[in-house]
Structures are given as C-alpha cells and as structure tokens.
Amino acid sequence: MAANPFDTLFEHGLREAQRLHLRRSIRVFERAAPGRNLLDGRELLNFCSNDYLGLSRHPALASLACERIRQYGTGATASRLVCGTDPACAAVEARLARAKGAQAALLFASGWQANAAVMPALLRAFGPSTQVYVDRLVHASLHQGCRAAGVREVRFHHNDLDHLEALLRARAGRPGRRIIVTESVFSMDGDRCDVAALAGLAERHDAFLYLDEAHATGVLGPGGMGLSGLAGGRVDLAMGTFSKALGGFGAYVAGSRALCDYLVNTCSGFIHTTALPPAVLGAIDAALDLVPGMQAEREALAAGADALRGALHALGLETGASSTQIVPILIGDERRALALSRALEARGVLAAAIRPPTVPRGTSRLRIALSAAHTPADIGQLLEALSQALEAVE
C-alpha cells in the first residue's frame, strides 16, 4: 500500500515526542496469573495493573461471564433506547444504587466515556453561567468533558479544600450554579480526598458534587464501594468503574432518580452507545457478589502499601501523599523515569514510567499499583530490583 501523503505530519509529531522522551508505543504482553505477565515466555511481576483485588482471573467472574454468553450470546446488538434494556443490566443498576446508597444508577461503556459524556449533559442542565470548580489533577476525561461543554474550569490546588473554599467565596456574588468536580482517589498520586469535608463544603456553598470513584471502587469505603459512603448521602453524583478492582469492564454513575433519568434523555455517550454485552454484565454481577466479603484482601492490600512506602522512604525515595494501593515513586526527569522502568523490566519487574501529559512536567514517576495478589515476597523482589536499578541508572 502506498504511503499516505499526510504521514509526514504524523511522523513529525512522533519525532518531536521522541525528542522529549514522551513517545508511547504498544507492546504485546501475555497475561499470566494475577500480578504477573509474560514477555517472550519470561514471567514478570506486574506492578502496572489496576487489578487491585486480583478479580480479573477469578473463576466466579469467568464462570458467570461464560454462562451469560451461552444464554444470551456475545453482543448487546444496539443501544438500550433502541433495543430495550437487558434484565441483567437493570438488575446490576439496582444493585449498584443500593451499594452506593443512591436512588438510581446508570451503566456506561467505560470510565473515560462516562466522564467525558456526563459532564456536558450536566452542564446543559445547569446553564451557561455555571461555575465549574475542578481539582487541577483530575483525570483527563473530566477535563475533556468540560472542554466539550465549552466551559472554563476554575481549578483549585490539588486536594486543597481551603483553596477551593476561598475560590467559592471570592465568586459568591457571580451568577450561575456551582459544580465541584474531583476524585476520591487520584490514579497517579495514590492520595485521597477528604470526601466528608468536601461534601460539607459543597453543602455550605450550594454546590453540586461530582466524585470520580474509579480507583476507590472495590477497595475503600463501606463494603469496599468507595469513599462516597463516608459522606452521608451528600455526594450528588458518584462515578466508578468495573475495570479496576472489580476485574471486568464498564462504568457507572450513581445519584438521584431524576439525575439518571435526565442522563438517559440527554447524555450522548449513553444514548448513542451499544449497551454492555452479556458476558461483561455477568462479570460485574459476580464481582458485586464477592467484593463486600473481601475485607481481608482490602486490609492486606493496605498493609502491603504501607510497608512498601516505608521501604521506599528508607531508600531515600519520595512517594508524595500516597495513602492507598497506588504508590508513586517520584523521579522528576522523563529520561530517568524511562531508564529506571527499563532497568526494572530487565530484572523481572514491570513498573510503568508515567510522563507528561499524564502528570505535570517535572513530576515523571514510576507508578506502583499493588494488588491483593501480590505477596510480601513479591514486594521484596520489587524493592531488590529497584535498589539494583537505581545503582545501574545512577
């Protein structure tokens, strides 16, 4: 096939990314047991995955997914407003609403799609003068949702509720309703928001609270269903995913019945997307059966993260404000972060180098994501490999 005449544009962009040590490429790994991958037949410890409870290979999820395929086939065939809703889909939404202490829930194809599609729909309801207060480090999908809505974000310092309140007070006389957008657990920093304090702040300032729970769902909060459960019903919309601790795929939003009915009628990402297929719904159902009873796994995961942070600090490495299963090793320079990631891989450990634009410039890092499937010996192997990699890269 002849080269596309526009390829020179793409090649220029790729060369520039390479020059800045920011180029990405797709690599093929074979998945092995939870917490492990295979590369060219060699087993590597995987500290990149969001499979926080090790459920992605759990037999109960696989069994129910296969059963649903045998019963209902492989595809949902159309959007829910065209072909109707699968009873299993409605049942999952009802379970989620109960688990989140909400009136209703709505399923989406992915967390990125949910955030990017729900934000514009919400902002249409709130009107053109809406003030949108956004933690500066929220996920790219939330920034995308604001861009798609054509609104200018008022960004507050990361997890700084005093700064947020100062911004709210300074704009108290301005027209328009208010929305606060943040995450309960931040995916690249592993720190958490004080959700109860944030909910009180939102209440005082008559603001709608949008909370992304992607990295808390399954791991933190009452029954493992996220930190919104600590806010006494004062989170107006909670978004979460099934593709991380719940080991499957898809996402949800939970809130009032009126909110969910409104999104059914206005959210393009719901209206114009094929419904989740039967196998995915089966895996979600099985995970929701298991997660409430996995408190021991959650406690082991938290203990492993605490031990890892302590050991990293002893090596003179910074982990920021991490307090969850996500432990960043702050490096700073993009080139050095890449070199350390490669040196770890050579020693049998996968730890992704996270670089701009995923994180702010000058804050490149190794993102260590622990799983309940990781043993103390696995963490010991990581630390030994890291000590050797630091010497090799220095």
> Which residues belong to the active site?
50, 139, 183, 187, 212, 215, 244
Q: How many CB atoms lie within 10 A of CB 189?
A: 25
> Interhelix angle for 376-393 vs 295-314, to 10°?
30
Torsion sign (Cα): 156, 158, 161, 163: negative
Instruction: Give 217's DSSP letter.
Output: B
> CA-CA distance, 382 to 36, in Å (whole number)?
12
Burial label for 6, CB within 10 Å (0-12, 13-18, 19+), is exposed
The region, left, alpha or beta by phi > 0 then psi within -120 to 50, assigned to residue 241 is beta
Note if the bond before 87 is cis, omega within 30 degrees.
no
CA 164 – CA 181 distance, rounded (Å): 11
Question: Residue type at 137?
Answer: L
Residue with tokens 């114009």: 272
Residues near 39 by Cβ (< 8 Å), separated by ≥ 6?
27, 29, 30, 345
- Sign for the CA dihedral angle at 335, 339, 345, 348 comes to negative
Distance CA 296, CA 14 (A): 46
The count of residues in the chain is: 394
β-partners of residue 106 are 253
